[in-house]
Chain A
Amino acid sequence: MIGFLTLSKREVVRFLKDAIDTIAPPTISVILFLLIFGVGLGSRLGDVHGVPYIQFMTPGLLLLAIVRNAFLNPAYSLFQSRWYGNIADFLVSPLSAEQIALAVLLGGVARGMIVGALVLAAAWLVTGVSVAQPTWALGYALAVAVAFAGLGCIVGLWTRGWEGVGAIDTFVLDPLVMLGGVFYSLDMVRGVPIIEPLSALNPFTYITEGFRAAMLGGAEAHVLIGLVLTLALGTICIGAALVLFRVGYHLKA
């Protein structure tokens, strides 16, 4: 247990010691989104589903921050350790493959939740948004962080170069999240070519709608559908990551 806790601590200390590069930029960029789209443009849009637009978009932005940071931390940490060779420190220790995987995963969850908390605090200051169902929202945020940290573990093991992590971030996560209802609901894009079908097919749309419902108060069905999708994604990602660690994919020759 001490070994697992030490590695988990390492994963958290790694990003906290470099907070100016890991915590500050994503927090600031989401705050800028809030200010520009929420305060600036949002004031002209009026209410969306009964709440001011800035409050409507807050859950989506919060989710965006959690997803990206939970993903990036394990992806970069694992690849960095592989690149510099210090992954051998863990591999020649008595830590099991599962313990290493979970410790790296926890680092991602911690970073996702810390950035999420900072964004929520900023959103509260800017918009006065409150959380309607705190327990559901927290559980939901944790489930999302776990799922995408699992994806980060997979990518951190799979990639053969630094650009691999960036490519997944740019070509997979960004479109998934941007077309996943962060800035709009499905109802708002009815009849809009390309955007509506892409959004309707995108599972992240339902994850965002569920989180929005948990945060702002909304249909329980939305919360459950999104949560089920998140848990399914998390199960697949963590399962795959565990298998890769167990077989030593890109870890053992």
Chain B
Amino acid sequence: MRTPAIFIEHLHKSYGDLVAVDDLSLEIQRGEFFGLLGPNGAGKTTTINAIVGLVKPTSGHITVLGLDAVRDYRRVHRLVGIAFQELILDGSFLNVREILVYQAGYFGIPPRRARAKADELLERFGLWEKRSARVQELSGGQKRRLVLAKALIHDPEIVILDEPTAGADVEMRLQLWEMLQQLHAQGKTILLTTHYLEEAERLCQRVGILHHGRLVSLGSPEELARERGQAHLEDVFLELIQSEQA
């Protein structure tokens, strides 16, 4: 049996009395397009931050392609690219191209290859014309694409995207969906968190629905809809959240 891309076992994270993630166990297979859904505060961001080591689990265990996410964090980081929900960009003194070149450098990519890789991504994400611009000069959509390009600079096997289309207009959302589908077609494992159920339904092979830090449902969007006798994932989601609250 192949080692899963991401294996989460009894993950628990609490901040004092607040439980952010409650005994979450989850397996995401290699090459899978997986969606983590849930309302605000469900524990989606905490979970993905735990995978990349930005959150220290209170208990539980995470492996990435068989590597322990805490003990082997340096090797894990080479395998994972993450695009955060906030448009975090080191733009105080670097221009768009430099942001990508430096990011490549942090991943150990030599300067010449880093510049070539940065240029390739700038072209691919329609940012070439903006390569010398400061982050402040970019539109929201351009920043979003730059964040995604940054996550891909080291050609990771696993791509984690936290609300990648939050705040995007319809045209940009469609563009980003196409880019994500292309990445998936290249064989990348994709873990996506989203509020947009249509996005999950359209892109994800399987979804996990989190509520109050607990996994309340897991399966393909079609399976979940069929099991609950609903037409769409959105109806499943609302039913689950309402039943949890009742």
Contacts and interface: CB of A to CB of B under 8 A. Distances in A.
A5 interface: yes
Contact of A89 (B78, B90, B93): B90
Given A93-B77, A252-B54, A252-B56, A18 B105 contact: no
A3 B93 contact: no
Given A91-B53, A92-B53, A92-B80, A84 B92 contact: yes
Interface string B80-95: 1010101011101100
A137 B169 CA distance: 61
A120 interface: no
A25 to B, nearest CB: 17
Q: Number of contact residues on B: which range applies?
A: 20 to 34
A6 B93 contact: no
A57 interface: no
B237 interface: no
A88 B105 contact: no
Contacts of A84: 88, 90, 92
A89 B88 contact: yes
Given A2-B105, A6-B102, A92 B54 contact: yes
A5 B107 CA distance: 11
B168 interface: no
Of the candidates B75, B93, B150, the one having the most CB atoms from chain A within 10 angstroms of its own CB is B93
Contacts of B93: 13-14, 17-18
A94 B102 contact: no
Contacts of B54: 88, 91-92, 252-253
Given A92-B80, A94-B78, A3 B92 contact: no
Given A2-B110, A248-B56, A252-B54, A92 B105 contact: no
B103 A89 contact: yes
Given A94-B75, A252-B53, A3 B108 contact: yes
B74 interface: yes
A158 interface: no
B52 interface: yes
A253 to B, nearest CB: 5
Interface string B40-81: 000000100100111110000000000000000011011010
A1 to B, nearest CB: 8
A5 B80 CA distance: 21
Contacts of B55: 252-253
A69 B82 CA distance: 34
A90 B106 contact: yes
Nearest to B74: A94
A10 interface: yes
Interface in B89-124: 89-90, 92-93, 102-103, 105-110
B162 to A, nearest CB: 11
Of the candidates A17, A89, A92, A253, the one having the most CB atoms from chain B within 10 angstroms of its own CB is A92
Interface in A1-34: 1-3, 5-7, 9-10, 13-14, 17-18
B103 A96 contact: no
Contact of B56 (A81, A85, A253): A253
A43 interface: no
A80 B92 contact: yes
A81 B106 CA distance: 15
Interface in A96-111: 96
28 contacts: A1-B108, A2-B105, A3-B105, A3-B107, A6-B105, A13-B93, A17-B93, A18-B93, A84-B92, A86-B88, A86-B89, A88-B54, A88-B84, A89-B150, A91-B52, A92-B52, A93-B77, A93-B103, A93-B107, A94-B74, A94-B106, A94-B107, A95-B106, A248-B56, A252-B54, A253-B46, A253-B49, A253-B54
Pairs of residues from A and B, 6 with the lowest C-beta to C-beta distance, nearest first: A6-B105, A93-B106, A86-B90, A85-B88, A94-B74, A17-B93
Given A10-B102, A13-B93, 4 more contacts: A2-B109, A3-B106, A94-B77, A252-B54
Interface of A: 1-3, 5-7, 9-10, 13-14, 17-18, 80-81, 84-86, 88-96, 248, 252-253
